[in-house]
Amino acid sequence: MGWKAALSKPFAALVMRGIDKWKKDAVKAQQETLRMLIHKGQHTAFGRDHQFSSIKDYNDFKRLVPVRDYEELRPYVDRVVAGEADVLWKGKPAYLAKTSGTTSGVKYIPISKESMPEHIKAARNALLTYIHETGKADFVNGKMIFLQGSPLLSEKHGIKVGRLSGIVANLVPAYLQKNRLPSFATNCIEDWEQKVDAIVSETVKEDMRLISGIPPWVQMYFDRLIQHSGGKPVKDIFPNFSLYVYGGVNFEPYRTKIEASIGKRIDAIETYPASEGFIAYQDSQTDKGLLLLADAGIFYEFVPAEEYYNDNPQRISLKDVELDKNYALILNTNAGLWGYSIGDTVKFVSLNPYKIVVTGRIKHFISAFGEHVIGEEVEHALLSVANEEGVGITEFTVAPRIAVEPGELPYHEWFIEFSRPPVDLPAFSKRVDQALQKKNIYYFDLIEGKILQPLIIRPLRKDAFVNYMRSQGKLGGQNKVPRLANDRKIADDLIAFIH
């Protein structure tokens, strides 16, 4: 065992003591976080506009600070981007994380000198928690690869601007720099396909032990790596590869193909980082729930997903959440986001400690007929049947088909790229539809009532989604295909790729 691995174990034990302390009383940690945020935010333009000085408790806060999405908060953000100080948080942000919004175009998310260390600490603690639980630390002695955006940063009015992963790449601790790949020059390549090829060249002969990145782009890296190595599985190319870290999308639809590419099952850690804050991470290999970070400069609020678009939806803090209920996640952060709807929906799978799973996007659902089908439901329906039948799924998305031929009922249209197609597609489609009916009573009623016909699957050609993303200029990085849409913008483009 190398010295880094040896030192990481007592360090992990020390860190775990601190985590256990706030984990045992997360509600108290959240109350203290809210008090701190209000105190520090009261002398900002936002704090004055929303009477922070008069806030005494959470009820006051809810009354004075409405829930807003990015577009609604944008007048304040635009002032920050223009270089004004003390708008949402004291001073100017240390960084602006540049993201692509589905409705807002380019978004700029402020990251303060107080919030940035929380991103780094959470990523570190996810690994230390794994070491503490499993005793496996050898990966820190080998090479680690992070598939991420360019670390090149621009500047607006004295504020550094870049993708979150690119910003973080500039802040990797010194003790990890020698272990980290790809090189700075390779990371700066903008064209994703050229970048992947360069990463393959740099890493193929290295002792890779940890790989991090969102599943579809890690799969592309594995495909190129295997091709470069004459068809060898990843485990033969990297014999010591033992840990995969991911976030951003559900791993399960990709698991079968990724593990087939590796040639063995390896440990994985799911994380929930966002430009707005590092929200949660998987803290146990025996539990897929993600530990909500209650002591990380973020005060969380939750709105029942079915009430989100109501005029006066219920809005609660951590102490009032319930198990297995779908909530829209609202953030208040030490970077100056207030009542901010991040757009994700989550469900609690444990209240002691507080653990969540990400169930989808508040805007990514299908309710063309009142069914309100969400991402978690379609993923469960598809994967439960696919796993039983040995069917491999590369990627998929679902949209409503409303305009149909006379005498035909509308339906949900599923576009699926199979890595291993079903033997009997109609029978497979029927089973997936039945599984979805069991998960969503509204969908069941619409099928039973002959308002909808059962779903129809359109199998797509190999690399259909990669080619689609390339055509949209969204290949690589943190870009991902939405699993659900209530319109046909994506679906109509995918018709050209039907097998």
pLDDT by residue for the chain (499 residues), tens only, comes to: 566 777 888 889 999 999 999 999 999 999 999 999 999 999 999 999 999 999 999 999 999 999 999 999 999 999 999 999 999 999 999 999 988 654 446 789 999 999 999 999 999 999 999 999 999 999 998 999 888 778 889 998 999 998 888 888 888 766 666 788 888 899 888 887 888 899 999 999 999 999 998 887 888 899 999 999 999 999 999 999 999 999 877 787 778 889 999 999 999 999 999 999 999 999 999 998 999 999 999 999 999 988 888 888 999 999 999 999 999 999 999 999 999 999 889 999 999 999 999 888 787 778 777 787 888 889 999 999 999 999 999 999 999 898 888 889 899 999 999 999 999 999 999 999 999 999 888 899 889 888 899 999 999 999 898 889 888 877 766 667 888 887 888 899 999 999 8
Q: What is the separation of C-alpha 148 from the centre of its chain, rounded to a whole number of angstroms?
A: 14
Which residues face 107 on adjacent strands?
99
Q: Which residues contact 107 (CB under 8 A, 6 or more apart)?
A: 70, 77, 98, 99, 100, 101, 275
Q: How far apart are the first and last CA of the chain?
A: 51
pLDDT score recorded for residue 103? 45
Q: Do 469 and 479 form a contact (C-beta atoms < 8 A)?
A: yes
Q: What is the separation of C-alpha 187 from the centre of its chain, rounded to a whole number of angstroms?
A: 21
pLDDT score recorded for residue 363? 74
Encoding tokens for residue 88? 């949402």
> 429 in helix, strand or coil?
helix
Which residues face 101 on adjacent strands?
105
> 238 in helix, strand or coil?
coil
pLDDT score recorded for residue 131? 95
pLDDT score recorded for residue 105? 61
Domains of the chain: 365-497 (3.30.300)
Encoding tokens for residue 50? 């929303």
pLDDT score recorded for residue 262? 96
Q: Do 337 and 455 form a contact (C-beta atoms < 8 A)?
A: no
Q: Do 368 and 410 form a contact (C-beta atoms < 8 A)?
A: yes
Distance CA 326, CA 308 (A): 11
Encoding tokens for residue 33? 């976080």
Distance CA 207, CA 58 (A): 51
Encoding tokens for residue 441? 């009573």
**N residues, the chain:** 499
pLDDT score recorded for residue 184? 87
